[in-house]
Structure 1
Amino acid sequence: MNSESKQSFVLGDVEVIRVVEWQGAFAPARDLVPESGAGLWKDNEQWLAPDHWAPDSDRAVMALQTWVLRSGGRTVLVDTGVGNGRERPGSPQFHHWQGDFLGGLAQVGVLPQDVDVVVNTHVHGDHVGWNTMDVDGGWEPTFPNAQYLIPAADDFHFGPDNAYGNGLRDDDRLVYQDSIAPIHRAGQAVLWDGTHRIDEHLTLESAPGHTPGSSVLRLSSGDDRAVFVGDLLHSPVQILVPSCNSCFCLDADAAVASRRRVLERAATDRELIVPAHFGGAGAVEARREGEGFALTRWAAYGTE
C-alpha cells in the first residue's frame, strides 16, 4: 500500500508525517515472534485484527514506513525502507522490489534535495534501502544534501572489517554494499555511538540487541514526548510481553533488556511509542501492567 494521504500529527514544535512504502500480511505470527504463544494473539484478537494480525492466515500484519520529521527548520527522515531494484535473495518478498516511495515523499512535500538528515536506526535492509538509488547502473545517495546518521557498531558489524556480519547472511553484504558503502564514498556518513544530539528536540540513543548498533530516537518538545523505537518492536504483542524477541534479534538478552528499558521510560514519561513496523495507527502510549505493559491510547492522525 502506498501512502495515499498525508498522515501526520504534531508534537510540540515538531511535525511527524508517516510515509508507507508497503503494508500487508508478512509472516506467520509465531515465526516473527517465536516466543509469543498462540494464546497471546488469540486473547488480543479484538484489537490486533486487522491492523496487526490476520487471524484467518495467522500472519502478522506489518508496515514498512518512514517517519518524516520537520524539526527546527530541517527535514529529518527516520529510516528509509526497502528501496527499489535490490538484490535480496534472503528476502523474497522484497527481492527486486519496485515501489513509489519517492512519490510518497513528494505527496507530503518532500523532494530528495529537501532532506537534511537521514536517521538509520540500524543497518537492516528494510531500514536503509532508500539511502541510495540506481543512477546509471551505480548506487548513489538518494538525498544529496543530507547527513546520514549510522550507528557505528552496526557499521562495523555489517561492514567489510567484520566480513559483512561474519558472513552469516549474504543479504547483509548486499545491503552494506548497495546502501551503506555509497554513503561513505560520498562523504555523507556520520557514525555515532552512545548518544547523538540532532537538534534541541531530537536525540539518538543506543539500544543494542536487535543488532549491535540498534538505536532509538527520542523527541522532546514542549510538553510532548515520543520515542521512535525502530526494531525494538515488530508487533504490539512485544509491548504486552517485552521478553518476546523477534526472529531477527541477534542478541536475545540484550534485545530484551533494551526493550524493557525503553518501555519503562516511555511509560514513566508518557512518551508516545512510534515503531517502524506497526500498521493501523502505528503509534501508541503504554503503561505498566504486571510483568509487561498495557496499551492505553493509539495516536490519532490528521489526514489531508
Structure 2
Amino acid sequence: MSAPSMSLGDVEIARVIEWSGPIRTARFIIPDSDEETWQRNQDWLEPDFWNPADDAYRCHIQTWVVRSEGKIILVDTGVGNDRERPQVPQFAGLRTEYLARLREAGVAPEDVDVVVNTHIHYDHVGWNTELRDGEWVPTFLNATYLIPRPDNLYFDPEGPGPGRGRAPRDDHERVRWEGSKLVYNDSIAPVHRSGQAVLWEDTHRIDGNLLLEAAPGHTPGSSVLTLRSGTDRAVFVGDILHSPVQVLEPAWNSCFCDDPRLAARTRTSYLARAAEERELLIPAHWPGHGAAEVRRDGDGFAIADWATFPRS
C-alpha cells in the first residue's frame, strides 16, 4: 500500500493522514462566518468540510511528504501520541498508527532529511518527538527541524509570548496558553536539546525548488512553503486557510488566529498570488481533495479546481 501522491515538476508530494473527523462547529472554528454563506455553498462544502445537520467543522490532521532533489521533507507533523492537550481534549492521549502510515508512503523515520513546522501549534509539531522510556526525544533522528524563530520566541515558556504581559480574554484563551507550554516542552524543546533545530526568519531556502516564507498573523511566526519546479507552482499554506469558506471571504479568521487583522491581510495576499500565478494551494487541514487552485471572482476569490488527490 502507498499514500496518495502527485508530481509537480520534479517534486513528488504524498499525503499522510494522522486523524480525520469533526472538531467543534464550523462557526466556532470560523467565528466571523455567517450561516448564509455556508448554506449557499452547501453543495460542495458537504460532506468533506461541513456537516449541516450539526454544523460540524470537518478536518484532517495530516503531513505532506515532499520529495525534492533527493531529500525527504515533512511539512508539519500532526498531534502525536501520548500527549497532554487541555486545549483540545479530543486529542489528549491520542494513539494513532502515524509512523506506520509514513512507512506506507515509503518513509521510515530515519529517512527524513528535513522537518518543516509551519508554526508552533499542537497539531503541527506533535510527531517532532515521541515518548521513549519516559522521555520526549526526536522522532526523526537524521532530520533538521526548521522552526520559525518568531514562534520559537513567542511560545518558549521563558519568552514573552502567550500568558505573559496580560490576562487571558476568556477561558478558551487561558486554556490555549496553558496548553502551548506543554506543546513547547514536549515537541520543541527536545529538538533543541538534540541540536537538530534550525531557527529561521523572513525566508529560508531549502533547495532549488522549495522556499520558506514568513506569513505572520495566525501566529507571529506562521509561514508558508513555496514550491517552484519547472512551470508548476504550489504553496503549502499551513493554517492560513482552515476552511474553503475563507477563500470566499478572506477577512474571516479562524478562532486560533493570534493577530486577526494581520492574519486576514496575509491570507488575502497569498490568495491573490495563488490566483495570479496559478499556484496550487495546499492547506494543512483540508479533507476531500486536500488542495485547490483559486481564481479571482469579482473583488474576491473562488475555487477554480481541486487537486488530483483522491477524496478522503
Aligned to 2:238: 230
Name the SS for the 1:67 alignment partner: strand
Aligned to 1:132: 129
The Cα shift of 1:252 comes to: 0.4
Aligned to 1:145: 142
Unaligned runs of 5+ residues in structure 1 are none
The superposition leaves residues 18-38 of structure 1 with CA deviations (integer Å, 9 ceiling, x where unpaired) of 000011111211000011100
Aligned to 1:272: 280
The superposition leaves residues 29-86 of structure 1 with CA deviations (integer Å, 9 ceiling, x where unpaired) of 1000011100110000000000000111111111100000000000000000000000
Aligned to 2:304: 296
The Cα shift of 1:182 comes to: 0.2
Distance 2:204 2:214 in 1: 9
> Which residue of 204, 211, 216 corresponds with 2:212?
204
Unaligned runs of 5+ residues in structure 2 are 165-173
Question: Could you tell me which amino acid in structure 2 is paired with residue 63 of structure 1?
Answer: H
**8 A contact 1:241–1:291 mirrored in 2:** no
Change (3 A) 1:44 1:5: farther
The Cα shift of 1:161 comes to: 3.1
**8 A contact 1:164–1:172 mirrored in 2:** no
Distance 1:104 1:133 in 2: 16
1:260 is the counterpart of 2:268: yes
Distance 1:6 1:148 in 2: 23
The Cα shift of 1:152 comes to: 0.2
> Which residue of 22, 27, 42 corresponds with 2:24?
27
CA RMSD of aligned residues (A): 1.2
> Which residue of 58, 63, 70 corresponds with 1:61?
58
The Cα shift of 1:291 comes to: 3.1
1:118 is the counterpart of 2:128: no
5 Å-filtered alignment, 1:26-105, equals 26-105=23-102
5 Å-filtered alignment, 1:170-181, equals 170-181=178-189
Distance 1:187 1:146 in 2: 10
Question: Could you tell me which amino acid in structure 1 is paired with residue 250 of structure 2?
Answer: P
* TM-score normalised by structure 2 residue count: 0.94
**8 A contact 1:159–1:165 mirrored in 2:** no
Name the SS for the 2:31 alignment partner: coil
Change (3 A) 1:36 1:5: farther
Distance 1:114 1:37 in 2: 45
Task: Count residues in correspondence.
Answer: 300
Question: Could you tell me which amino acid in structure 2 is paired with residue 254 of structure 1?
Answer: L
Name the SS for the 2:159 alignment partner: helix
**8 A contact 2:153–2:160 mirrored in 1:** no
The Cα shift of 1:5 comes to: 5.0
The Cα shift of 1:302 comes to: 6.7
**Identity, % of aligned positions:** 56
Aligned to 2:170: none
Aligned to 2:169: none
Name the SS for the 1:81 alignment partner: coil
**8 A contact 1:8–1:302 mirrored in 2:** no
Name the SS for the 1:128 alignment partner: helix
**8 A contact 1:85–1:97 mirrored in 2:** yes
Aligned to 1:10: 7
**8 A contact 2:155–2:184 mirrored in 1:** yes
